[in-house]
Every structure is written in C-alpha cells, then in structure tokens.
C-alpha cells in the first residue's frame, strides 16, 4: 500500500516537473530565443504613429484682404473591400450609381481600403446618406477653393491630394504645404483608448500664407474689360498686364481664355498656361518704339529730322520690298513713329546695323525676364550671324523677333525708369525664394488630423470649413526689383521717346487712349501671324503698349488681342479701346480720378 502511494507520488512529481520544464523551455523561446519577434508584435499592438499635416496656407492679393486661394473641406466615399457586410447590396449600389468604382472593385477585393469617389457632389452625398449602407463610409478631406477664377493661370491649382500642380501653387508648394509632424503614441493594447506616452518623431513646419502683388479687385475689373473686347470682336485670345515700373510688381495679369480651377476636369489643357509668360509672338509695329529708342541713343537720328517715307504704300530698299499701312511723304522722325510708318523706321534702322540687335538684347528680348514662374518662354531674337538682307528691315517693325507680353511690359518699364527690372508676382518676404524643404515623411492621404469621418445618420450636414492663417506684418514688405546699376538709356533718349509716344496718343494711331489730366504714352502694333511658313493677312495680333503718368503715379499697361473674326482691323480699333477701358478702370480703382 505504501509502495503504491510512493509510486503514484513519484509519477505525479515527474509529470509536474516535466510540465514545469515545458513551461520553462517555452518561456525561454518566447523571452530569449524569439524575443525580437514577440517584441515587434507587442509594439504593433500598443505603438501608434500619427502623421499630422498642417492646413495649406492661403494665397492672398496685395491688400491682404482678398483670398485668391483658400481651404475647403470636400467629401469622399470609401469602402473596406475585405470587410464588406452586405457584398451583394453594396455591389448593386455601385453598379447603379458609381460604375467606375464597381470596375475597380474587381481588382481590389482583397484590399483594406478603396475610394468610391472623391470630391462628391451634394446630390451624390445625399444619395449615399439615403442608401444608409453600412459598408459605405464618408470621409472629409481638405482641398482648395479659388474665389477669383480669372486669376487661375497665375494661381494654378492643386491635385486631388492637395499638392501644388500648376502655377504659384506648384512653385511655392514648399511654403504653402508646410511639412507634416509625425508623433508616436502608446495606447492600451486591449481597449485601444488610453494613451500613455506621446513623442514627436519628426517636427514639421506650419504652412505659411503667400501674398501676391496682384490686386484682386483690379483683376476683376480688367476681366470685365477683356470679356467685352472678346465678345465684340469674337477674338480667340486676349491678355492684359499692368505693372508698377518702379518696383517690378505685376498688379494685374489676365490671360483669356482661362480655366475654372474649381472644375478643372472640364478645362482645355491649353488654358492651363499663363500665356503672358509662356507664349511668344512676333508683335509687329509695337517694336518700333525700341528701334526708335536705339536710334536716338546712338545719335543716328534726331526727333525733328525729316525722313522721306516715299509717299507710297510699297517701296524697295536694297532690293527688299517694304509695305506700310498709310502713305506719308517727308515727315519728321517723331511722326514716323507716331504714325507708324514702316518705310521710315526701316530707313533709320539701317543706320544702326547690328547695334539694333544689341539694344534689343539690352531691353531683355530673346532672354528670360527672371520672374519666378514655371514655363517662361525666352522668345527669339534673330542674331546678326543669321541675318539676311531683309533682317534689319524686319527687326525694325517687329518681325524676326518674338517676345512674350511680359517681356514687352518689362521693356516698357525700362523706358519709364531707364533701368532693367525683374518682374515679380510675390509680395512676401524674399526669403521664400530659398531652397524648398524636403519632407522626410510622405503624406499618406489617410492619416493625420485633416480627415474626418462623417456620420451619415446625422441629418445636419457637415458645414464647409475655410481655414486661414494669421497674416504677419512682414508679409507686406516692399519688393524693389529695379536694378539700380548701369543706366541702359540716357535721360535725353528716354524723354524724347516718351514725347514721341505721347504724340502717338495725341494724333497718331492710339488717339482713343487719351485720358484727360494724364500723360498717356502709347505705341500700337498690328502683326500678321505666321501660318505654315507664310504670313497670313487674315490672321492678326493686335497690341497696345503704354505708360500712364501723373506726378509720382506711374503704370505700364499692355493690351493684346489675337485672331479677331472680323477682317481689316487694326490695333487702333481693337487693342487701343481695350487699353482705354483698362486704364480708366485702373485709375478709378486707384482713386486717381
């Protein structure tokens, strides 16, 4: 009996010893052998990484009161494909209302997340809420809203993930977007609600507001004038730029047709370009002012020198045919420019020779202006080594040289100040031109504090939220972009050419641009377009370039109209009335009238 009891006790002892040994061996494997593996699993349960993306900075006009780009919440719908509760019902709903999402679902069955559609329309949101499908969720995500659509070629737009895609939004994305902050949290592994520890792994930078030199109110007024001109002449394109020649600031820049950045999917890709900066043209007689300026600077002609314009519409110089619009006999050089006679300006330009090219180059033609904006066109200036007998004649009245509207405006600013200017669209602290920040953390599109799930059961819809950042006083610094280096042209030559341009307005080709009480100096140009290697007389470009002065007030205005449907038109009847309309609106807006 005792022997049997001892045997059972021994067996039980060895069984428990074996069990403890198994436990000890298992603990060894868990805590020592596979320590890193189980530690990683544990960390996944209670370690959480959150990426917080700052609200995108607004873009404001020069006054700081008008928004050119602001933040707005948009609603997106999504499903969790591998966790569907009622697959049949959900797929039927997608088939009927969101067929594109239904097609994508076929390749996303095993995924954890799939957008049905982003930036839903109000009726689509109402439809989803009415369906009340437990598999379909609504998500609030940040986007952009652009109040002034006529500024779209300047401002650009962001993509669906709110990253800069075009224009200012693209160029200064590093300023407007800021950089995300990455935080590491420890939560209760069982309930997931209690947070014990928070550490900042990557400290981000807040987004900053961006102030442009554009005046939003004036931009709208210019748009009205441009639209009237386009409607009157059924023109294909039009453009206006207004600059302050003393600072290089662009106060208004409108390129028509533009696009609606709030419905960019409907826009024609050609309208995304800021054509004032990206497109170069042979501008015709508007270039005569610079040929005349070069001749006056070099002393090869005087304002009152009599030039024989042959009293004909067509003549030949050195065997090359020259046509002009209106015949003139022997007239002073001042009237050659004021009345825009091609024969007279060509005679004087031949005295300059290759120096004409040098002066055009000094004025900025054939090279970039230095503006901070993507896609700037350098234009083209035919170099002397490529000249034919016709070249010096063509260059004198605006052919064999192509220029952007911005280059033309900058050249007119040089007449106003005597110096080369660098145009700018930015009124902020110049430090924003520094090298963009490189983000160490990519915005996932789903994490962070900028997204909110929407309760479909809540009958009061979530209101749109507009976020603006505080405006700093230093954002209103004066932006001086006039290079006070070498004076490009003497005061004598500039004053003379300004007097000639004033006479162009008084009795020349720009008589309609006169404004009582102001010194208005203008030059017009009507150019034939080059089509398939030949100049087409029925397809034209109309330009009016000018300076308006009164006391210390000075503005440069360029108006441009391309391909009006009416025939036998000239800049005097197309671009000049637009110049007048823009100038009057500008002076009233600036409280100068």
At 54 the pLDDT is 85
pLDDT at 211 exceeding the cut of 90:
yes
pLDDT digits over 141-150, tens only? Answer: 888 999 999 9
At 567 the pLDDT is 84
Residues 178, 56: Cα–Cα separation, whole Å: 7
pTM for the model: 0.80
Q: 220 and 199 in contact (C-beta within 8 Å)?
A: no
Q: Shortest CA distance to 87 belongs to which of 99, 100, 105, 75?
A: 105
Q: Which two tokens stand for residue 482?
A: 């006039």
Burial category of 14 from C-beta neighbours within 10 Å (exposed 0-12, middle 13-18, buried 19 and up): exposed
pLDDT digits over 283-339, tens only? Answer: 999 999 999 999 999 999 999 999 999 999 999 988 888 999 889 999 999 999 999
Q: 168 φ, ψ to 5°?
A: -60, -35
pLDDT at 441 exceeding the cut of 70:
no
Higher pLDDT, 392 or 264: 392
Alpha-carbon distances of 135 from 17, 83, 96, 249, 409, rounded to whole Å: 53, 8, 16, 54, 58
Residue holding tokens 């004036």? Answer: 218
Looking at the DSSP bridge assignments, the partners of residue 521 are 547
Secondary structure element (H or E) that encloses residue 589, with its range: helix 571-589
pLDDT at 397 exceeding the cut of 80:
yes
Q: 144 φ, ψ to 5°?
A: -120, 150
pLDDT digits over 237-291, tens only? Answer: 999 999 999 999 999 999 999 999 998 888 888 999 999 999 999 999 999 999 9
Residue holding tokens 């977007």? Answer: 177
Residue holding tokens 């939004």? Answer: 169
pLDDT digits over 453-483, tens only? Answer: 555 444 444 333 333 333 333 333 334 555 5
Looking at the DSSP bridge assignments, the partners of residue 536 are 529
Q: 314 φ, ψ to 5°?
A: -140, 135
* Sheet architecture: strand order including 519-531: 249-256, 237-244, 553-562, 534-550, 519-531
Mean pLDDT of 52-79: 91
pLDDT digits over 545-564, tens only? Answer: 999 999 999 999 999 999 99
Q: Which two tokens stand for residue 358?
A: 């040098």
Q: Shortest CA distance to 425 belongs to which of 473, 367, 371, 472?
A: 371
Residues near 83 by beta carbon (within 8 Å), at least 6 away in sequence: 112
Neighbour tally for 568: CB within 10 Å: 8
Domain boundaries, the chain: 2-50, 52-208+450-468, 216-263+272-420+488-589
Alpha-carbon distances of 124 from 117, 322, 435, 531, rounded to whole Å: 10, 64, 42, 47
User: 280: phi > 0 → left, psi -120 to 50 → alpha, else beta; which?
Assistant: beta
pLDDT digits over 6-64, tens only? Answer: 777 788 888 888 888 888 888 777 777 777 776 776 666 666 676 777 889 999 999 99
Q: Are strands 114-117 and 67-79 parallel, antiparallel or unpaired?
A: antiparallel
At 436 the pLDDT is 42
The superfamily in CATH containing domain 52-208+450-468 is Penicillin-binding protein 2a (Domain 2) (3.90.1310.10)
Q: 197 φ, ψ to 5°?
A: -150, 140
Q: 254 and 223 in contact (C-beta within 8 Å)?
A: yes
Higher pLDDT, 127 or 451: 127
Residues 198, 49: Cα–Cα separation, whole Å: 10
Spell 177-210 as b/e; 16+ CB within 10 A means b: bbbbbbbeeebeeeeeeeeeeeeeeeebeebbbb
At 461 the pLDDT is 40
CA angle 312, 315, 320 (to 5 degrees): 160
Residues 411, 426: Cα–Cα separation, whole Å: 20
- Report percent pLDDT > 70 for the chain: 84
- Is the link from the previous residue into 257 a cis peptide, with omega within 30 of 0? yes
Q: Shortest CA distance to 542 belongs to which of 235, 273, 150, 221?
A: 235
Q: How confident is the model at residue 160 (pLDDT cuts 50, 70, 90)?
A: confident
Q: 402 and 525 in contact (C-beta within 8 Å)?
A: no
Tell me which fold the domain 216-263+272-420+488-589 belongs to: Beta-lactamase (3.40.710)
Residue length, the chain?
Answer: 593
DSSP state, 459? S
Q: Which two tokens stand for residue 469?
A: 């950042």
Mean pLDDT of 575-582: 96
Sign of CA dihedral 578, 580, 581, 585: positive
Q: How confident is the model at residue 188 (pLDDT cuts 50, 70, 90)?
A: low
At 204 the pLDDT is 65
Q: 574 and 559 in contact (C-beta within 8 Å)?
A: no
Q: Shortest CA distance to 285 belongs to which of 344, 236, 237?
A: 344
Q: Which two tokens stand for residue 1?
A: 């009996």
List strand residue ranges (DSSP E) for 203-263, in order: 210-211, 237-244, 249-256
pLDDT at 227 exceeding the cut of 90:
yes
Q: 318 and 309 in contact (C-beta within 8 Å)?
A: no
Residues 254, 153: Cα–Cα separation, whole Å: 8
Residues 257, 343: Cα–Cα separation, whole Å: 36
At 46 the pLDDT is 62
Residues near 133 by beta carbon (within 8 Å), at least 6 away in sequence: 86, 89, 90, 93
At 412 the pLDDT is 96
DSSP state, 115? E
pLDDT at 164 exceeding the cut of 70:
yes
DSSP state, 438? P
Mean residue pLDDT across the chain: 85
DSSP state, 562? E
Q: Shortest CA distance to 59 belongs to which of 49, 51, 69?
A: 69
Residues 540, 530: Cα–Cα separation, whole Å: 9
Q: What is the separation of C-alpha 368 from the centre of its chain, rounded to a whole number of angstroms?
A: 17
Alpha-carbon distances of 421 from 101, 365, 487, rounded to whole Å: 53, 13, 11
pLDDT at 435 exceeding the cut of 60:
no
pLDDT digits over 494-531, tens only? Answer: 999 999 999 999 998 899 999 999 999 999 999 999 99
């Amino acid at each position: 009996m005792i022997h049997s009891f001892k045997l059972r006790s021994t067996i039980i002892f060895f069984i428990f010893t074996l069990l403890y040994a198994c436990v000890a061996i298992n603990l060894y494997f868990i805590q020592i052998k596979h320590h890193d593996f189980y530690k990683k699993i544990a960390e996944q349960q209670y370690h959480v990484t959150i990426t917080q993306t700052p609200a995108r900075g607004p873009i404001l006009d020069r006054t700081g009161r008008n928004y050119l780009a602001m933040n707005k919440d948009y609603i997106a719908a999504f499903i969790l494909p591998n966790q569907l509760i009622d697959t049949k019902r959900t797929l039927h709903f997608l088939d009927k209302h969101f067929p594109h999402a239904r097609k994508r679902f076929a390749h996303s069955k095993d995924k954890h997340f799939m957008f049905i559609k982003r930036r839903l329309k109000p009726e689509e949101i109402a439809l989803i809420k009415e369906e009340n499908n437990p598999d379909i969720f609504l998500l609030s995500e940040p986007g952009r809203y652009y109040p002034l659509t006529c500024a779209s070629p300047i401002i650009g737009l962001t993509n669906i993930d709110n990253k800069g895609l075009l224009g200012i939004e693209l160029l200064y994305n590093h300023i407007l977007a800021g950089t995300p902050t990455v935080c590491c949290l420890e939560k209760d592994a069982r309930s997931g609600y209690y947070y014990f520890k928070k550490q900042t792994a990557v400290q981000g930078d807040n987004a900053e507001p961006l102030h442009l030199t554009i005046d939003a109110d004036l931009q709208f007024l210019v748009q009205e004038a441009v639209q009237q001109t386009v409607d009157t002449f059924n023109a294909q394109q039009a453009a206006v730029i207004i600059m302050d020649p003393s600072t290089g600031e662009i106060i208004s820049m409108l390129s028509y047709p533009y696009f609606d950045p709030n419905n960019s999917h409907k826009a024609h890709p050609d309208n995304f370009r800021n054509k004032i900066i990206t497109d170069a043209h042979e501008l015709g007689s508007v270039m005569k002012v610079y040929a005349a300026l070069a001749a006056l600077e070099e002393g090869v002609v005087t304002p009152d020198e009599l030039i024989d314009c042959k009293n004909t519409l067509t003549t030949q110089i050195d065997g090359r045919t020259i046509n002009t619009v209106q015949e003139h006999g022997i007239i002073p050089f001042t009237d050659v420019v004021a009345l825009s006679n091609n024969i007279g300006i060509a005679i004087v330009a031949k005295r300059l020779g290759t120096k004409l090219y040098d002066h055009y180059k000094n004025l900025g033609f054939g090279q970039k202006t230095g503006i901070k904006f993507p896609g700037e066109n350098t234009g083209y200036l035919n170099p002397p080594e490529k000249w034919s007998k016709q070249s010096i004649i063509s260059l004198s009245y605006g052919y064999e040289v192509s220029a952007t509207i911005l280059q033309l405006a900058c050249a007119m600013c040089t007449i106003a100040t005597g110096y080369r200017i660098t145009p700018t669209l930015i009124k902020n602290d110049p430090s924003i031109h520094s090298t963009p920040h490189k983000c160490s953390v990519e915005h996932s599109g789903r994490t962070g504090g900028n997204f909110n799930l929407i309760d479909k059961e809540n009958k009061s819809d979530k209101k749109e939220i507009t976020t603006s950042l505080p405006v700093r006083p230093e954002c209103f610094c004066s932006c001086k972009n006039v290079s006070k280096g070498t004076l490009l042209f003497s005061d004598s030559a500039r004053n003379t050419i300004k007097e000639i341009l004033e006479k162009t307005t008084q009795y020349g080709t720009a008589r309609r641009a006169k404004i009582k009480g102001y010194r208005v100096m203008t030059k017009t140009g009507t150019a034939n377009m080059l089509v398939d290697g030949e100049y087409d007389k029925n397809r034209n470009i109309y330009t009016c370039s000018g300076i308006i002065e009164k006391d210390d007030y000075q503005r440069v205005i360029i108006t441009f109209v391309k391909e009006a449907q009416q025939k036998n038109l000239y800049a005097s009847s197309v671009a000049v009335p637009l110049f007048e309309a823009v100038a009057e609106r500008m002076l009233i807006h600036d409280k100068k009238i």
